[in-house]
C-alpha cells in the first residue's frame, strides 16, 4: 500500500516559478499572503493528507458507505477525519472572507486540494461538491439565501450537493421532470435524482442540496429549468436546525470504484413536497448550475492528475524494490528500459497536467481579482477554454497512467492488496461525471472554438508561439524541446482552422471533437513542459543547483520526444478520418 508523500517541490515550482509567486501576490485580496505562509500551508496540508487521509483510503475501499433505511454511515474513521479536516480550517481555505473564509487564491487552494485527491479521492469528493454549492449560492443567491447557508457551508458544518441527473435524463438536462410548485415564500419539490455524490452521509449536521426542477408554467427544454436550495433539515430564522425536510436517500449505487463516497438516489416530496428556495430567477437554473459545474469540472480534472500521482508513487516504490529478471547492471526492475518508459510516461504527463491545472486555476483568479478589465476578460476566455481541456484530457490521461501503474506491478498489480488496482478503479469515474469526455470535447469545439470564431484558441496559440520564439537553443535538449513544441502548436493551429472551415457541418466537427481535445491537451501540456524546461535550463547553469531541475529537464525532454509527436497523428485523424466516423452505420452492424 502507498505511503503517500505530497510532491511539494513540484507544486512549489509551478506556483512560485512557472506561474510566479509575485504574480499571485499581485492579485487583489492577497495582502496577507507571503511565500513563507504559502509554504507553511502546503506543508501542513501534506501532513494531513499523509497522516490522516491516506491511511483511510484502503479502509474506505473495503468497507464502503452503507445505507440503513434512509441513513448512510461512512467507513471507519471517516467522521473523525472530517471533524479534524473541518476544525483545521481546510474547508474555508479559498472561500470569501465575507462568509468566514480565508480568501486564499484558487491556484493555491488547487495545490492543497490535489493532496486530498491523491491521498483519498473518495473523501475529497465531499468538500469538492460543497465548494460548488458555495459558489452557486454566492454568485446567484439573494441576500437571505446567502445569510442562511453560506457561513455554515464555508465552515464545513454543513455539506452541499449538486442534483442534476434523473434516470430518464442523463446528460440531457432538457428532459428533467422534477417539479417545483410555488407555495408562499418557497416551493414544494417532487421528483427523484440519481448519482448524487454525498447525497446522504453522517459527516455533517445538515446537507444542502442544489436541485434542478421545473415550475408549473416553465417552457420546455433547458430554458425551463430552475435551481433550488433544498436543505435536509429546515433552517429556523435564528439559524438553528428545524424539522427534517421531505427528502431522503432511497438507495446507494454499487460502483466500480470510489466505494467510500456514497452515490445516492435521492427522493424529494414523498410526503407532499420537499421545501425548496429559488436561487435567482425562475428558468435560469441551468446557467446557475454551470457555476457549480465549471468549478467541479476543473476539480475533476485535478482529481485525474492527483490520482495519477498516487498511482505513480506506488508504482515507482514497487519498481525500486522489486528484483526480477536481468536488468542491465543488475538490481531492481526500475532499470529495465520498458519500466523506465512506463514510469517516465507517468511522471512527465503528471507534471504537465499539474502545471496546466494550476495555470487554469490562476486564470480564474485573474478573472475575479485582477484590476484591469481587459485582463479579466482575457482570463475569463482563457479559463473557459482550458476548463474542458483540464477536465477531459487530464481524466483520460489518468486512465492510461493508473493502468500503467498496474502494469509496472506485473501480476501483483492485479491483486487488490497492493492498492494499484484501486487507483485504476477509482480513476475510471473521472472521465464520466460532471460531463463525459465527449461532452467536454463538444464543449471545446462548439462553445470554446466555433462560437467566438476561434478567438480564445487564437489567443492561446499566439501565447504558445511567443513561448516557442523565446526558447533558446543553447543545448541539444532545448533544441529538441523547441522543435517539438513548434510542431505541436502548428498542429493545433491547423486543427482549429479545419474546424472553423467546416463549422457549417456540425456532424463533421462533432466527429473530430475528441481527437481535437486530445491534441489540445498534449499541446498545452507540452507548452507547460517547455516553459518549465526553460526555467530549469537557466538554473542548470549553476553547478550547485538543486538536482530537481535536472529531473525536470529529463521529464520535459521525454515528454517532447515521446508524447508530443502524437499531435501530428491526431491532426491527420481530424483532417482525414472525421468523415469516416460520420459515414459509419453501426445500427445494422
Q: Is 434 a known active-site residue? A: yes
What integer pLDDT is reported at residue 327 of this predicted model? 63
What is the rounded average pLDDT of the residues 442-463? 97
Catalytic hit among 434, 458, 473, 587 = 434
Average pLDDT, the chain: 96
Report the share of the chain in percent with pLDDT over 90: 91
CB 38 within 8 A of CB 94: no
Outline where 101-247 has alpha helix (H).
106-119, 121-140, 143-155
Nearest alpha carbon to residue 207 among 231, 174, 228: 231
What integer pLDDT is reported at residue 294 of this predicted model? 83
Q: How far apart are the C-alpha atoms of 17 and 320, rounded to whole Å?
A: 30
pLDDT-derived band at 400, boundaries 50, 70, 90: very high
pLDDT-derived band at 329, boundaries 50, 70, 90: low
Give the chain's largest Cα–Cα span: 79
Q: Which three cell numbers mark 429?
A: 469515474
* Domain map (residue ranges) of the chain: 445-584
What integer pLDDT is reported at residue 328 of this predicted model? 63
pLDDT-derived band at 544, boundaries 50, 70, 90: confident
What integer pLDDT is reported at residue 167 of this predicted model? 87
What integer pLDDT is reported at residue 168 of this predicted model? 80
What is the rounded average pLDDT of the residues 223-246? 97
What integer pLDDT is reported at residue 493 of this predicted model? 98
User: In this model, does residue 326 exceed pLDDT 80?
Assistant: no
- Judged by phi (left if over 0) then psi (alpha if -120 to 50, else beta), residue 89 lies in left
pLDDT-derived band at 108, boundaries 50, 70, 90: very high
What integer pLDDT is reported at residue 289 of this predicted model? 84
Q: Per 3-state DSSP, what percentage of the chain is helix, strand, and coil (rounded to 5)?
A: 65, 10, 25
CB 366 within 8 A of CB 27: yes
SS3 101: coil
pLDDT-derived band at 589, boundaries 50, 70, 90: low
pLDDT-derived band at 315, boundaries 50, 70, 90: very high
User: In this model, does residue 397 exceed pLDDT 70?
Assistant: yes
What is the rounded average pLDDT of the residues 440-452? 96
**Which residues on adjacent β-strands are paired with residue 68?**
71
The 8-class DSSP code of residue 75 comes to P
Structure confidence by residue, pLDDT tens digits, 118-161: 999 999 999 999 999 999 999 999 999 999 999 999 999 999 99
Choose the weakest-confidence range: 56-70, 160-174, 538-552.
Answer: 160-174
CA 21 to chain centre: 22
State the CB neighbour count (10 A cutoff) for residue 64. Answer: 19
Q: How far apart are the C-alpha atoms of 49 and 112, rounded to whole Å?
A: 9
What is the rounded average pLDDT of the residues 54-62? 98
Q: Which three cell numbers mark 471?
A: 526558447
Cβ partners under 8 Å of residue 216, min gap 6: 179, 181, 182
What single string gives the DSSP state of each residue in 115-145? HHHHH-HHHHHHHHHHHHHHHHHHHH--HHH
Choose the weakest-confidence range: 1-10, 235-244, 453-462.
Answer: 1-10
What integer pLDDT is reported at residue 40 of this predicted model? 98
Choose the weakest-confidence range: 105-119, 360-374, 537-551.
Answer: 537-551
CA 212 to chain centre: 22
Q: Which three cell numbers mark 464?
A: 504558445
Structure confidence by residue, pLDDT tens digits, 253-305: 999 999 999 999 999 999 999 999 999 999 999 889 887 788 889 999 999 99
What is the rounded average pLDDT of the residues 297-316? 98
Q: Is the pTM of this model over 0.75?
A: yes
What integer pLDDT is reported at residue 222 of this predicted model? 86
User: In this model, does residue 510 exceed pLDDT 90?
Assistant: yes
What integer pLDDT is reported at residue 314 of this predicted model? 98
Amino acid at each position: 500500500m502507498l505511503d503517500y508523500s505530497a510532491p511539494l517541490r513540484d507544486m512549489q515550482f509551478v506556483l512560485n516559478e512557472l506561474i510566479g509567486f509575485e504574480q499571485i501576490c499581485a492579485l487583489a485580496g492577497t495582502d496577507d499572503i507571503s511565500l513563507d505562509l504559502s509554504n507553511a500551508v502546503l506543508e501542513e496540508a501534506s501532513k494531513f493528507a499523509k497522516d490522516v487521509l491516506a491511511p483511510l483510503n484502503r479502509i474506505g475501499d473495503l468497507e464502503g458507505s452503507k445505507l440503513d433505511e434512509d441513513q448512510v454511515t461512512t467507513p471507519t474513521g471517516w467522521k473523525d477525519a472530517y471533524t479534524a479536516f473541518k476544525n483545521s480550517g481546510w474547508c474555508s481555505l479559498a472561500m470569501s472572507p465575507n462568509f468566514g473564509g480565508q480568501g486564499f487564491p484558487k491556484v493555491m487552494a488547487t495545490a492543497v486540494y490535489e493532496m486530498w485527491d491523491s491521498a483519498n479521492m473518495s473523501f475529497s469528493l465531499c468538500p469538492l461538491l460543497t465548494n460548488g454549492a458555495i459558489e452557486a449560492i454566492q454568485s446567484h443567491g439573494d441576500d437571505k439565501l446567502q445569510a442562511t447557508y453560506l457561513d455554515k457551508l464555508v465552515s464545513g458544518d454543513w455539506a452541499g450537493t449538486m442534483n442534476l441527473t434523473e434516470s430518464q435524463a442523463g446528460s440531457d438536462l432538457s428532459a428533467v421532470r422534477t417539479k417545483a410548485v410555488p407555495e408562499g415564500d418557497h416551493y414544494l419539490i417532487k421528483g427523484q435524482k440519481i448519482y448524487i455524490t454525498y447525497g446522504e452521509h453522517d459527516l455533517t449536521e445538515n446537507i444542502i442540496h442544489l436541485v434542478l426542477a421545473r415550475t408549473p408554467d416553465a417552457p420546455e427544454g433547458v430554458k425551463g429549468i430552475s435551481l433550488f436550495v433544498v436543505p435536509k433539515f429546515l433552517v429556523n430564522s435564528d439559524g438553528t436546525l428545524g424539522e427534517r425536510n421531505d427528502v431522503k436517500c432511497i438507495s446507494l449505487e454499487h460502483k466500480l470504484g470510489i466505494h467510500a463516497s456514497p452515490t445516492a438516489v435521492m427522493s424529494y416530496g414523498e410526503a407532499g413536497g420537499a421545501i425548496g428556495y429559488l436561487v435567482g430567477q425562475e428558468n435560469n437554473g441551468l446557467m446557475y448550475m454551470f457555476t457549480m459545474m465549471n468549478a467541479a469540472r476543473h476539480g475533476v480534472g485535478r482529481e485525474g492528475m492527483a490520482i495519477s500521482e498516487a498511482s505513480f508513487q506506488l508504482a515507482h516504490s514497487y519498481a525500486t524494490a522489486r528484483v526480477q529478471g536481468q536488468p542491465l547492471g543488475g538490481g531492481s526492475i526500475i532499470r529495465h528500459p520498458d519500466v523506465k518508459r512506463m514510469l517516465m510516461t507517468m511522471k512527465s504527463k503528471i507534471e504537465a497536467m499539474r502545471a496546466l491545472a494550476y495555470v487554469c486555476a490562476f486564470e480564474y483568479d485573474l478573472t475575479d481579482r485582477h484590476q484591469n478589465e481587459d485582463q479579466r476578460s482575457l482570463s475569463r476566455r482563457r479559463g473557459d477554454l482550458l476548463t474542458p481541456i483540464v477536465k477531459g484530457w487530464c481524466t483520460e490521461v489518468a486512465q492510461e497512467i493508473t493502468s500503467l501503474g498496474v502494469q509496472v506491478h506485473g501480476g501483483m498489480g492485479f491483486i487488490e492488496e497492493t492498492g494499484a488496482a484501486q487507483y485504476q478503479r477509482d480513476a475510471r469515474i473521472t472521465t464520466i461525471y460532471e460531463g463525459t469526455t465527449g461532452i467536454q470535447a463538444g464543449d471545446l469545439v462548439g462553445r470554446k472554438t466555433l462560437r467566438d470564431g476561434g478567438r480564445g484558441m487564437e489567443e492561446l496559440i499566439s501565447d504558445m508561439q511567443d513561448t516557442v520564439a523565446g526558447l533558446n537553443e543553447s543545448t541539444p535538449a532545448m533544441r529538441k524541446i523547441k522543435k517539438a513544441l513548434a510542431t505541436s502548436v502548428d498542429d493545433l493551429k491547423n486543427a482549429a482552422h479545419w474546424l472553423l472551415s467546416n463549422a457549417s457541418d456540425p456532424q463533421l466537427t462533432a466527429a473530430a471533437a475528441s481527437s481535437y481535445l486530445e491534441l489540445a491537451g498534449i499541446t498545452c501540456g507540452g507548452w507547460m513542459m517547455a516553459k518549465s524546461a526553460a526555467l530549469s535550463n537557466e538554473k542548470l547553469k549553476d553547478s550547485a543547483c538543486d538536482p530537481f531541475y535536472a529531473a525536470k529537464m529529463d521529464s520535459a525532454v521525454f515528454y517532447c520526444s515521446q508524447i508530443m509527436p502524437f499531435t501530428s497523428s491526431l491532426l491527420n485523424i481530424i483532417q482525414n478520418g472525421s468523415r469516416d466516423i460520420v459515414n459509419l452505420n453501426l445500427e445494422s452492424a
